Structure 1
Amino acid sequence: MNAIRLLLLPLGLCLALLAGCASAPAKADKVALVIGNAAYDNVVRLVNPTNDAADMCASLRKLGFKTTCATDVRDRAEFDTLVKAYVAALDAGAVGVFYYSGHGVQAGHGNYLIPTQVKLKSATEDPTKVLYAVDDLFDRLRQRRARFQLVVLDACRADLFEQAEHKPGSRVAAAPRSDLVRALETVARASNGLAPIKDAPPGTIVLYATASKDLAFDGDGRNGPLTKHILAHIETRGLYVEEFIKRVTLGVEQETFRKYRKRQTPFIYGSFSGKFCFAGCPGDNDVPVPPAF
């Protein structure tokens, strides 16, 4: 676990991970797992995911979430360890937030999150076997009938299949194709961006940074556009999750079109029929409904 730089990890969970303890972590009403991957060895590096993760962790902690945060998750096994611990901490009626900022790719029939230091054992190895499948995350989440789950995938933030060069809104350094990218090019239907979600767990909303198979801007400030606007609204009292997503989407569209003359539109998948507000809904201690902007 020393390859994961943990921004926040509850003491009991930390001891369990380090010592291989089999005891289940204590359940909580609100649980979050936040991952920011930036310092890639195998694809172009990103600037903002580390900031994104730190700021999301701070905001979620402020809102009362039992939050585990990690940066530069090295490989698929470390992804799986973090997700297993996160799901184990979810009570059946809890609220969960899984947040990922970094590279993602569609390959074959699935969507994958890219660890920072994966290496192929041979030129013939299936590259998807060393990535973390979004379907694996969904399979874990189905184990818990959480009251509401938000999955944020702030991915697709650079063109993996071209030699990186500076582009408007991008802060990545030039880099040649890696062995991983060359291997991904041989996989059917491999492309930048993530494919649409068709089978999200019940009660789950999946929020993409941009449309499927499209690129998102890494941003030219502290945070990427999606995370910047999530942070701007997530602590707003009395804001239902549906209105929260609308405000985030509008903010991202307006900012990216103004700065880059190209509109980045976040997309949502899944379904949720209940009521939820991150900072308390109307009726919770007489929380007022804020006006739309």
Structure 2
Amino acid sequence: MWTNSLAQYKLYEEGLKKYNNKDFYGAIETLSDFLTRPVRDKKFDVDAYYWRGMAAFKLGDYNVAAEDLKQSLALKHGNVGNIHWFIAKCYENEKLYNDAIVEYSEALKILRADKQKEFQILTERSGVYAKMGNTPSAIADLQAAQAIQPNNETVKNSIAMLSDPKSRNADVKTDSNIPVVVKNEPQQRKDEPVKTEPKVEVKQEPVKTEEKVVTNPQPVVQSVVTTPKEPTLEELYGDEKRYALIIGNSAYSKQIGVLKNPVNDATDFAEVLKTMNFDVTLITDASYGKIRAEMMKFRDKLNQGERDKTVGLFFYAGHGLQHDNENYIVPVDAEIMYEDDIARFCFPIQKMVLAQMEMSNSRMNIVILDACRNNPFPALHRSIGESTGLGEMKKARGAFIAYATSPGSVASDGTGRNGLYTQELIKAMSKPGRTIEQVFKEVRANVLRQSGDRQNPWENSNIIGDFYFKLK
């Protein structure tokens, strides 16, 4: 079942890749294949409908595009404002003007804080009102746009023309670049580049069409022929709250074994996260009490964030071990003499880290463990079993768990400033526009190559939606 789910994800990923490569027909075919599979990971449906709709929009198949985009809204896609805007464009191109007005109005409610977008939506909606013969509403939208850009000459001229009845039957001459054409219906120009000012097209005399004669037509205000730009990653994810708890333990007793790099790893990783809009708490050489106290504070921060707009990240570098189906962080003050001391003096990751994060408001919980160093208690090796390193943990809701090496294996502490795993993680996550899956795939490839295939990083994921460390 897991293998089949992975294959379905790859199919979705292939469709998205085709879209990014502007193979819109291929994207539609592949994403349709994904969406029609009876067995698939349906958490990707919301994005699959969105990207398939966008591909149809690019190809001018507006009816199909609108249906897919509406489906993505029904599945609660996060890019609500821009989706309503695209649906409005679809309806306008299909000459469903009343529906277009509704969608433009929804987009305007959501995107009003962005004045450039508000200006564009107002001018485009004014054009639809003009096509409907609703001159007062067209003027009102243009006046609202003028309030945003008072010096926009084309908007001024458009308002003047719509406000003056004489201009509807007389030649209009302006010093702007407004073309005067005779037309019965607004032209659809798909390839016109993005502009920011509306054009006014005026007809002076009756025009015969094949079916009817139009007399005294309203001046047609053709709004900016603009396809709303696809949202940037900053627009999609820039308002989410990001919290990180970073722990690095190096100063262990001689009995446990001093480690060279964990404090460096934690410190450097924390600094990089700060540049990515994370609220970072860094603790080093921490006792059990310190780890527990900071974990509770971390949980409270996650609960303060808006549900579904909060991301939590927990990073640990230092000694770790597994015992009785639980993975443990080893605090620097741990004194382990007997097997039952492990549960008393070491900090459980599954019960105290993952469980706390899972119960919070965060939409995604990222746990990164560079802790598979070696067995810190060789005297207890026989009693706690022959396994080394950390064990694979149970999946938690919305969790992405990354290990420096595969379950049951041991990772190197490294010979430079950082351990090999954290070194490669910092490099990969610093590249903009990469999903979390892409980052850790690159980390795995580089660690395997540099370790001569001795260290194999491992991930366990149950996340919904996307996450990008660096948005731009």
TM-score, shorter chain, exceeding 0.5: yes
* Closer, same or farther: CA 273–117 of 1 in aligned 2, 3 Å: same
Q: Which has the higher helix share?
A: 2
CA distance in 1, matches of 2:313, 2:319: 19
Partner of 1:95: 311
Give 1:119 shift.
2.4
Any conservation in 2 of the 1:160–1:192 contact (CA below 8 Å)? no
Q: For 1:107, which of 323, 343, 367 is the aligned residue? A: 323
Partner of 1:268: 459
Partner of 1:64: 277
Matched, 1:131 2:131: no
1:176-255 pair list within 5 angstroms: 181-183=378-380, 185-187=382-384, 189=385, 191-198=387-394, 200-255=395-450
CA distance in 1, matches of 2:438, 2:461: 16
3-state SS of the aligned residue for 2:402? strand
Any conservation in 2 of the 1:141–1:201 contact (CA below 8 Å)? no
Unmatched segments (≥5 aa) in structure 1: 1-27, 162-180, 281-286, 288-293
Q: For 2:245, which of 22, 27, 33 is the aligned residue? A: 33
* Closer, same or farther: CA 112–185 of 1 in aligned 2, 3 Å: farther
Cα shift readout 1:55-102 (whole Å, capped 9, x = no counterpart): 011000111100000111122x22111111111111233011100000
CA distance in 1, matches of 2:314, 2:462: 16
CA distance in 2, matches of 1:213, 1:158: 10
Identity %: 30
Stretch of structure 1 that moved more, 142-151 or 101-110:
142-151
Bigger relative CO (Cα 8 Å, ≥ 6 apart): 1
Any conservation in 1 of the 2:321–2:375 contact (CA below 8 Å)? no
State the AA in 2 paired with 1:264: Q
3-state SS of the aligned residue for 1:210? coil
Any conservation in 2 of the 1:44–1:160 contact (CA below 8 Å)? yes
Give 1:190 shift.
6.2
Give 1:124 shift.
7.7
3-state SS of the aligned residue for 1:191? coil
Any conservation in 2 of the 1:106–1:190 contact (CA below 8 Å)? no
Any conservation in 1 of the 2:334–2:346 contact (CA below 8 Å)? yes
Unmatched segments (≥5 aa) in structure 2: 1-239
TM-score normalised over the length of structure 1: 0.73
Matched, 1:279 2:455: no
3-state SS of the aligned residue for 2:414? coil
CA distance in 2, matches of 1:47, 1:100: 14
Q: Which has the higher strand share?
A: 1
Partner of 2:260: 47
CA distance in 1, matches of 2:409, 2:339: 28
Stretch of structure 1 that moved more, 202-211 or 264-273:
264-273
Any conservation in 2 of the 1:108–1:190 contact (CA below 8 Å)? no
CA distance in 2, matches of 1:182, 1:126: 13
* Closer, same or farther: CA 125–246 of 1 in aligned 2, 3 Å: closer
Give 1:159 shift.
3.8
Larger CA Rg, structure 1 vs 2: 2
State the AA in 1 paired with 2:314: F
Any conservation in 2 of the 1:105–1:191 contact (CA below 8 Å)? no
Any conservation in 2 of the 1:249–1:266 contact (CA below 8 Å)? yes
Any conservation in 2 of the 1:105–1:113 contact (CA below 8 Å)? yes
CA distance in 1, matches of 2:468, 2:428: 11
TM-score normalised over the length of structure 2: 0.46
CA distance in 1, matches of 2:346, 2:386: 13
State the AA in 1 paired with 2:299: V
* Closer, same or farther: CA 277–45 of 1 in aligned 2, 3 Å: same
CA distance in 2, matches of 1:57, 1:31: 11
3-state SS of the aligned residue for 1:192? coil
Cα shift readout 1:228-264 (whole Å, capped 9, x = no counterpart): 011102121111111111111111111111xxxx421
Cα shift readout 1:152-209 (whole Å, capped 9, x = no counterpart): 0001112435xxxxxxxxxxxxxxxxxxx5356434x3632111112x3211110000
Partner of 1:19: none
